[in-house]
Amino acid sequence: MGQKTIRLNGKKRKVSVPDDSQQLLYVLREQLDQQGPKFGCGVAQCGACTVLVDGKIVRSCVTPLSSVADGADVSTLDGLATDDDDDLHPLQRAFLDKQAGQCAFCVNGMVMGALGWLQGRIDTGNRSVPEPREVADYLSGATPESTLNYICRCGSHPRIVEAICAAAGKMVK
């Protein structure tokens, strides 16, 4: 069993690498107490396990820890805000304001997938607020930049789309 260091939400953390097939999701949940990323399908089809690795959207259920570079920056929903309610990220605030979730199991993927997407647009100079249709297409994996889809089994997609549009408006300001 080896060891690896990652930067989890900005802090250096050592993790054990039990074997080459250990997926990042289990390391985050079982070794690092992260409660944001969830096990949904386990086969990269639902988005519930989404995290960012060096700013890139990653399905942690199918990402072996061995493929994550030593020292990589891993961002999870747990690190988006402190416990202080005033410190919520615009996406978290918008999801609460729009009540964009029923059971909330999908919310980790919706927020982290939207974060990676919106931040990627902003970083490349695109400061437009996406239209609801664009957001819905993004969540369906039907855009040129992404074929990953994000599934909400409770049918909260319309409110999730509204929340992402509202948060995008705040993020580009």
Q: Which parts of this chain interact with ligand FES (CB under 6 A)?
A: 39-42, 44-49, 59, 61, 101-106, 152-154, 156
Burial 58-79, CB ≥16 within 10 A → b, else e: bbbbbbebeebeeebebbbbbb
Other CB atoms within a 10 A radius of the CB of residue 163 amount to: 28
CB 113 → ligand FES: shortest distance, Å? 10
The 8-class DSSP code of residue 113 comes to H
Burial level of 88, CB count in 10 A (0-12/13-18/19+)? middle
The 8-class DSSP code of residue 18 comes to -
Closest CA to 169 of 103, 108, 102, 97: 97
Question: Measured from the CB atom, is 100 or 129 closer to ligand FES?
Answer: 100
CB 31 → ligand FES: shortest distance, Å? 18
CB 5 → ligand FES: shortest distance, Å? 24
Question: Measured from the CB atom, is 104 or 172 closer to ligand FES?
Answer: 104
Question: Measured from the CB atom, is 28 or 129 closer to ligand FES?
Answer: 28
The values of phi and psi at residue 53, to 5°, are -120, 120
Contact by Cβ (8 Å): 107, 101 = yes
State the Cα–Cα distance between residues 37 and 27, nearest whole angstrom: 11
CB 124 → ligand FES: shortest distance, Å? 25
Question: Measured from the CB atom, is 31 or 122 closer to ligand FES?
Answer: 31
CB 155 → ligand FES: shortest distance, Å? 8
